[in-house]
Every structure is written in structure tokens, then in C-alpha cells.
């Protein structure tokens, strides 16, 4: 298909919605995106945008006009990019080239790091090839490295439940700060293969993904940590991710370039996967009967997929830019215009919801992207999240939210959909031998006298380090 032509055959000079294609954002009236409703009531907020504008809407993102793509079909069209109209190359952004985008605009923090997520062409192919060569030992469940990582995930999860119970059979906890986030931080440490992970690492990942004033210095600290890990593994390689990336890297790839790409793993596991654990727990406790039934039936991956559809952790994907005038969803998009792909809105698209009853399944979500830039570690993230959810509900006999779902607070990030906290009351299962089936979640019973929670046989983990990480995470969440 020629450049400048839309997927439905519309030419670039065609008028759509009464506007010339060449007008693009310059002729559109943008409304603010980052409002209080965006953070607190995201789904209805995006539905309102779709009702007013259709599948593509002009919005102001931190004061800069962008198109937000709300339709499932339109998001998929841009991701697959079969007409070669879309690029991640920020050099194609007309407004930025003309000096109309502030140098410290928060959403530019990640693209300026020049990681694999934002490359195109041969450079992207080369850097992605390094990932594709290094990840299989962690994702292939028959590989010893993958089995060991999964064993560590179960062991850390078990120890974290013991820590939040603190010797009692019932209590209260923030599952975000005391379970999901520390668990993913420890697994990042396992994959990086160094023990000198500071307690601030994951906190800096969150600051990066929140894309506020602290995002740039936070990303610089995370990247410096990754550079040190790569340098250490060049001296003493092992069965860890930086060692495998170094072995697979071409001769021209520097430690800094590999480190920048490793930060993507830390972000996806440390932030998005921990957010997905919380969203899955929320879906089970307060969602529809299907989520509870799939969990009770041992279909944990199906439960996670349901949560991904409802609250995708990667709620909005990184910007793409039109390389030529085009039409998307009936809306004119000019060359050099940026588009923000809303996974959260696409999953709520009535056309997608209707089609999903027939040809689509719960696996048709777009949380990990699609096309050439689809996350290569999606299988790893989904596996570890499923283990974390399974292990949590294996230990819990009862679980309820402290607050109604509508009163839970979400982080105001344009990129990640994450709860600030997930406060719950819980009751542990009594100790048993053998395998315990996953329970259907029940309401928490009246308080009983606390009783010691016997230790279960497990691989040894560092309780001191886990406790230190939990305290750091809880302290940051309280601010």
C-alpha cells in the first residue's frame, strides 16, 4: 500500500470529518488528558472521549497536542503498521522539530534514552535480536534457568506472605507494597544476577513510569544501576540476563546500549507486572463471577488475562508519529503528528467487546503491544504474574478489600495503570501437607485469637533483604 494512504484506501488529500488531512492537529481542538478523572475513573473518561470524537481524538498531554487512538481496530492498525505510515522515531515529530515541545516534557524521558523500544529499521532488528537470543532460557519452561526462576518466584511469594502475616493466621496488609512490588523487585535481582540491588531501584522505576518531574533523574539512576550490572557481568558472566545479552550482542553494541535495553525488563517486571498482580487480585475479589470461577478451576492464566482486559497495566503505549498524511479511523492525521495508543480504551471499544464474544478470546488483549515492537518478554511476565497470583491464593483462605473498589486510588500515570495501594483483610489457610486446591474467595470471618503460622518447607531466601525491601516500598507508598 503506498505511503500516505489509509488502510481503507483513503488518499492523504481526502477530507474527513470536514477537515483537510493536511490540517491534522493544527486544526483540532484538543481537550486536556491528564485530569483527575483520568487517574481515578479512567474507563468512563476514555468512553466519554470516544462518545465525543469517535475512535481518534485530539487531546493535550501535559500541554502538548497529540492524537489519542481509542478504537481497538485503529490501535491494531498502527501497531501492525502494514502501510508503513507510523514510526517511533521522534525526529519525525513536526512540533518538536519546530521547537513547540518543551525540552523537559515528561513523556520524552524514555524515548531520549534510545532503547530498543524506540528504535526503527536495522538498529531495532539488531537490538531486538539480542533480546530474542537472551530471553529463551527464562521463558522456556523446560530450561533449568526458567525452572529455577519460577522456583524462586514461589519461594519469595511464600516468604512475603509469612512476613505480612507476621506469625498470625489473620490480619491486614497492603498487597501492593507488601507483596506484589517487593516480589517483582526480587525477581529483577534474580534475572540481573547481582546482589547489590538497592531498595530505591524499584521506587525509581515507578518515578520513571509516572512521568512526572522526577522521571528524568530517576531513569538516570536506574540506567546507571544497569550499566554497573552489565560491566560486572562482562567481568564475571553467569546464567543471568546481562551475561546472555552480552554473549548475543553484536561487536558494536556497548555496555551502555545493553544496559538501556535491560532497563526495559526492570520496568516491565518491576512496575507493570506488579501492577498486573494487584489488578488480578482486584478482579477476583470484586470482579465478575468468571474471574473467580477461572481461579477456582485452576485456570490462573485465564484469570490474569481477564484482569489484563479490564485494567491493562500498560494502559497507553509509547508515541508513534505519522511519516505522511493519512486517515485513521476517519480522522485526518498530518505528517509529523504524534499518536498515543490507548490500550485501555481499545479493550473497552464496544466493537471489540462484541467481536470478542465470537472470534476473539481473552488472549486478544493488546497490553504487550503487537507487530514488530511487541514485547518479547510477554510470556515471561505472564508466567511470573500467574505464579504470584496462584501462590497468594494458595495461602489465603479468605480475602476482602478494606475499601470499596471505587475508593481505591490509582497512580496518575499516562503510561501505566497501577494502584497506589491494595489494602485488604485476610485469613490464612491452616497448614496442610500435599497440594491444596485454589479456593473460591470468601468473605473474611470474624476475628479469632491469633495463632502461629507454621513454616513450610521451601528453598532458603533472604528474609532480612525481603523485610528491608518491604519497609522501603511501604515508606515510599506512604508519602
pLDDT in tens, 155-185: 999 999 999 999 999 999 999 999 999 899 8
Q: Write out the E strands in 15-161.
A: 15-16, 19-20, 31-32, 56-61, 64-69, 86-87
Domain span at residue 398 reads: 122-311+390-478
Domain presence at residue 214 = yes
pLDDT in tens, 56-112: 999 999 999 999 999 999 999 999 999 999 999 999 999 999 999 998 898 887 777
> Does residue 182 contact residue 427 with C-beta atoms inside 8 Å?
no
Proportion of the chain above pLDDT 90, given as a percent: 50
DSSP single-letter state for residue 273: I
pLDDT value, residue 262: 82
Domain presence at residue 67 = no
Phi, psi of 171 (to 5 degrees): 170, -165
> Does residue 382 contact residue 107 with C-beta atoms inside 8 Å?
no
Query: Rounded mean pLDDT of the chain?
Result: 82
pLDDT in tens, 330-342: 999 999 999 999 9
pLDDT value, residue 257: 87
Domain presence at residue 98 = no
Cell digits of residue 445 = 470471618
Query: In a 3-state reduction of DSSP, which class is residue 190?
Result: helix
* pLDDT for 229 beyond 90: no
pLDDT value, residue 323: 97
Residues in Cβ contact with 452 at an 8 Å cutoff, skipping those fewer than 6 apart? 167, 168
Domain presence at residue 80 = no
Q: How confident is the model at residue 413 (pLDDT cuts 50, 70, 90)?
A: confident
269 vs 244, more confident:
244
Domain presence at residue 130 = yes
Residues in Cβ contact with 405 at an 8 Å cutoff, skipping those fewer than 6 apart? 282, 286
Segment 395-418 mean pLDDT = 92
**181-192 and 200-210 helices, crossing angle to 10°:** 110
Domain presence at residue 275 = yes
- Check which CATH number belongs to the domain holding 200 and give it: 1.10.630.10
* pLDDT for 21 beyond 60: no
**CA 99, 100, 102, 108 torsion-angle sign:** negative
Domain presence at residue 206 = yes
pLDDT value, residue 284: 92
pLDDT value, residue 217: 86
204 vs 369, more confident:
369
Give the residue among 205, 1, 188 at the shortest CA–CA distance from 110.
205
Phi, psi of 200 (to 5 degrees): -85, -10
pLDDT value, residue 455: 38
pLDDT value, residue 448: 37
Q: How confident is the model at residue 4 (pLDDT cuts 50, 70, 90)?
A: very low
**Number of structural domains found in the chain:** 1
pLDDT in tens, 112-155: 767 788 889 988 898 899 999 999 999 998 999 999 999 999 99
pLDDT in tens, 251-302: 778 888 888 888 887 777 878 899 999 999 999 998 767 777 778 777 899 8
* pLDDT for 435 beyond 70: no
Domain presence at residue 404 = yes
Amino acid at each position: 500500500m503506498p505511503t500516505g494512504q489509509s488502510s481503507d484506501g483513503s488518499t492523504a488529500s481526502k477530507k474527513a470529518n470536514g477537515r483537510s488531512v493536511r490540517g491534522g492537529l493544527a486544526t483540532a481542538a484538543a481537550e486536556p488528558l491528564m485530569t483527575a478523572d483520568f487517574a481515578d475513573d479512567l474507563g468512563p473518561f476514555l468512553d466519554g472521549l470516544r462518545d465525543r470524537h469517535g475512535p481518534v481524538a485530539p487531546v493535550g498531554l501535559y500541554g502538548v497536542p497529540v492524537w489519542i487512538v481509542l478504537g481497538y481496530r485503529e490501535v491494531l492498525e498502527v501497531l501492525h503498521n502494514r502501510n508503513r505510515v507510523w514510526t517511533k522515531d521522534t525526529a519525525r515529530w513536526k512540533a518538536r522539530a519546530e521547537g513547540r515541545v518543551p525540552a523537559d516534557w515528561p513523556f520524552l524521558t524514555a524515548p531520549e534514552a534510545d532503547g530498543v523500544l524506540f528504535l526503527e529499521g536495522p538498529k531495532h532488528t539488531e537490538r531486538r535480536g539480542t533480546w530474542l537470543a537472551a530471553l529463551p532460557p527464562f521463558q522456556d519452561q523446560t530450561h533449568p534457568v526458567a525452572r529455577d526462576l519460577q522456583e524462586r518466584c514461589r519461594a519469595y511469594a511464600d516468604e512475603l506472605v509469612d512476613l505480612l502475616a507476621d506469625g498470625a493466621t489473620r490480619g491486614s496488609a497492603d498487597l501492593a507494597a507488601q507483596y506484589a512490588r517487593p516480589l517483582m523487585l526480587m525477581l529483577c535481582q534474580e534475572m540481573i544476577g547481582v546482589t547489590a540491588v538497592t531498595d530505591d531501584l524499584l521506587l525509581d522505576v515507578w518515578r520513571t513510569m509516572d512521568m512526572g518531574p522526577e522521571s528524568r533523574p530517576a531513569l538516570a539512576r536506574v540506567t546507571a544501576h544497569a550499566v554497573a550490572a552489565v560491566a560486572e557481568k562482562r567481568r564475571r558472566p553467569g546464567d543471568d540476563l546481562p551475561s546472555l545479552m552480552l554473549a548475543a550482542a553484536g561487536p558494536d553494541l556497548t555496555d551502555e546500549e545493553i544496559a538501556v535495553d535491560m532497563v526495559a525488563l526492570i520496568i516491565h517486571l518491576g512496575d507493570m507486572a506488579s501492577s498486573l498482580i494487584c489488578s488480578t487480585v482486584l478482579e477476583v475479589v470484586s470482579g465478575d463471577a468468571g474471574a473467580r470461577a477461572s481461579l477456582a478451576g485452576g485456570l490462573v492464566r485465564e484469570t490474569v488475562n481477564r484482569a489484563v482486559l479490564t485494567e491493562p497495566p500498560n494502559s497507553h503505549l509509547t508515541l508513534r508519529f505519522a511519516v505522511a498524511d493519512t486517515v485513521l479511523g476517519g480522522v485526518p492525521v498530518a505528517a509529523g503528528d504524534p499518536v498515543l495508543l490507548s490500550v485501555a480504551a481499545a479493550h473497552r471499544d464496544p466493537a471489540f467487546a462484541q467481536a470478542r464474544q465470537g472470534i476473539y478470546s481473552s488472549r486478544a488483549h493488546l497490553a504487550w503491544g503487537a507487530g514488530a515492537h511487541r514485547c518479547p518478554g510477554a510470556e515471561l511476565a505472564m508466567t511470573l504474574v500467574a505464579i504470584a497470583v496462584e501462590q497468594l491464593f494458595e495461602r489465603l483462605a479468605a480475602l476482602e478489600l478494606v475499601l470499596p473498589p471505587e475508593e481505591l486510588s490509582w497512580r496518575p500515570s499516562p503510561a501505566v495503570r497501577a494502584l497506589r495501594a491494595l489494602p485488604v483483610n485476610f485469613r490464612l489457610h491452616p497448614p496442610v501437607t500435599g497440594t491444596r486446591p485454589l479456593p473460591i474467595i470468601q468473605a473474611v470471618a470474624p476475628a479469632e485469637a491469633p495463632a502461629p503460622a507454621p513454616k513450610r518447607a521451601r528453598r532458603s531466601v533472604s528474609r532480612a533483604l525481603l523485610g528491608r525491601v518491604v519497609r522501603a516500598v511501604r515508606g515510599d507508598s506512604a508519602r
